[in-house]
Amino acid sequence: MTVTSPDIVISEELIRKFDRQGPRYTSYPTADRFNAGFTLDSYHQYLEQRANRTENPPLSIYVHLPFCESLCYFCACNKIITKDHSRAAEYLRYLEKEMALVAARIGKDRRAVQLHLGGGTPTFLSPAEMRQLMDMVRGHFNFSDDAELGVEIDPRTVSEDTLAMLAGLGFNRTSFGVQDFDPDVQAAVNRIQPLEMVERAVTASRKANFLSVNADLIYGLPKQTLASFDRTLDSVIRLSPDRIALYNYAHLPSRFKAQRQIIELDLPSAEARLQIFLRSMQRLLDAGYVYIGLDHFSKPEDELNQARLNRSLHRNFQGYTTRAECDLIGFGVSAIGKVGDSYSQSVRTIKAYYQHLDAGELPLEKGYSLTQDDVMRRRIIMELMCSSPVDFGAINAAYGIDFRSYFAGELELLKPCEAAGLIGIDADGIKVTPTGRLFVRAVGMVFDKHLAQPTTAAYSKLI
């Protein structure tokens, strides 16, 4: 099968040729390169630089809420399975401590343009706890009137009232974990959420006036077939979310314990996955969705596509975003931040998280200080990932290099991508073609200097 739209032609052959394992570049360097050489002192310095500067980028805030009531077998997130809702109250007390410690370091400039609640299941919190969290966040950070406030929703945990409450608290974007509507697939991954349940939640979001509704789908799950996923797509297209993320399930049971519950014989073959992906992509394009890149689609009028068109699309740990370069501060277990030219990540276990905060210190586990070479490569890789042109002149001016000689080796390595029509290279720069948007990881990897070093990470394949 070949995916065709007016400007995209993606054949099976093209996918087989460029389907290599690689990072998804929500950061550069990727999180597997963060290390303990980045100490608490290093992190403090980056935070305090904000306090000492007059011109700072605005903030994006991420809060990780790790609790879930039951285990989805495909899960690769850092979560805690519990039905004991009293644990949320304790966690909130520690989030408050962490926010106070960060706020004290970064000084008065706490303008924020984005908030994302992820998990785990953010809606594990009761309405009163959600209000408490938002009071806490707003107490420490000053959100602009047009700030993007997003929350990940597990449809099994929300009522119409919860969604109205979230809208009342200022949330304007929801993201629903849909995955697949087929009952056999849902049973095989231990996540039962009938279509009617999701439909009620999506309808309630619209009624509550959320600006954008996203649906996450996953292909490659056990018991999935081309026909079953087609039926899921019928329902999803009818629900008409503003954005759709079509993720590839990466089965890594040695790394993610939950996935050991999946019966491997039930997984679709590599060939079936490829067909499911191609068919899904074609159907979403035919239904009028625009392909943003990697796993993401949106309606043409959605802000994400508008940002792609006016070249203001960015990429952060939540994927594609419309907000321009921000400093990102992550709160909660395993949360990642990006402040200045640094990345930081908090400890992964709740026990260690509480211990650090009880000792009055930020729960840092590891991080990374970027070199000038990293900063330049990050800019290039992120521009490629967002299908923005890489402008040689702009990079030469910003970093005092001659792109063509500094990256002569990389330009040589890009020739197969150029020959396959994934990118165009001319005297001014590199442009990703519409077809190339699926393969931006392979293009970006050419500029990733760290790939030459060994890693413990298990990168996923494209399909």
What is the contact surface with ligand SF4 in residues (CB under 6 A)? 68, 71-72, 75, 77, 79, 119-121, 154, 177
Cβ proximity to ligand SF4, 192 vs 408, nearer residue: 192
Helices (H), 343-422: 350-358, 372-385, 392-399, 403-406, 408-413, 415-419
Cβ proximity to ligand SF4, 256 vs 406, nearer residue: 256
The full DSSP string for 233-283 is HHHHHHH--SEEEEEEP---TTT-GGGGGS-GGGSPPHHHHHHHHHHHHHH
C-alpha 423: how far from chain center = 24
Cβ proximity to ligand SF4, 119 vs 268, nearer residue: 119
Q: How far is it, in rounded angstroms, from Cα 165 to Cα 171? A: 9
Joined tokens for residue 200: 């009620």
Instruction: Tell the smallest beta-carbon distance from residue 367 to ligand SF4 (Å).
Output: 24
Cβ proximity to ligand SF4, 75 vs 163, nearer residue: 75
CA angle 303, 305, 311 (to 5 degrees): 100
Phi and psi for 183 in degrees, rounded to 5? -60, -35
Instruction: Tell the smallest beta-carbon distance from residue 71 to ligand SF4 (Å).
Output: 5
Instruction: Tell the smallest beta-carbon distance from residue 247 to ligand SF4 (Å).
Output: 11
Task: Give the E-state strand segments of 37-189 in sequence order.
Answer: 59-65, 67-68, 80-81, 111-119, 142-153, 173-179
Does residue 104 sit in helix, strand or coil? helix
Cβ proximity to ligand SF4, 121 vs 388, nearer residue: 121
Instruction: Tell the smallest beta-carbon distance from residue 332 to ligand SF4 (Å).
Output: 13
**Who's near 136: CB < 8 A, 6+ residues apart?**
92, 95, 96, 99
Instruction: Tell the smallest beta-carbon distance from residue 123 to ligand SF4 (Å).
Output: 10
264 burial level (CB within 10 Å; 0-12, 13-18, 19+): exposed
- Do 323 and 148 touch, CB atoms closer than 8 A? yes
Cβ proximity to ligand SF4, 99 vs 221, nearer residue: 221
Q: How far is it, in rounded angstroms, from Cα 229 to Cα 218? A: 10
Instruction: Tell the smallest beta-carbon distance from residue 215 to ligand SF4 (Å).
Output: 14
Instruction: Tell the smallest beta-carbon distance from residue 65 to ligand SF4 (Å).
Output: 10
Cβ proximity to ligand SF4, 154 vs 365, nearer residue: 154
Instruction: Tell the smallest beta-carbon distance from residue 74 to ligand SF4 (Å).
Output: 7
Q: How many residues does the chain have?
A: 463
The residues that bridge with 406 in the sheet, in sequence order, are none
Cβ proximity to ligand SF4, 245 vs 445, nearer residue: 245
**Who's near 202: CB < 8 A, 6+ residues apart?**
176, 213, 215, 239, 241
Cβ proximity to ligand SF4, 71 vs 287, nearer residue: 71
Instruction: Tell the smallest beta-carbon distance from residue 19 to ligand SF4 (Å).
Output: 25
Instruction: Tell the smallest beta-carbon distance from residue 217 to ligand SF4 (Å).
Output: 13
- Do 18 and 10 touch, CB atoms closer than 8 A? no
Instruction: Tell the smallest beta-carbon distance from residue 256 to ligand SF4 (Å).
Output: 10
Does residue 320 sit in helix, strand or coil? strand
Joined tokens for residue 81: 């399975």
Helices (H), 287-339: 303-309
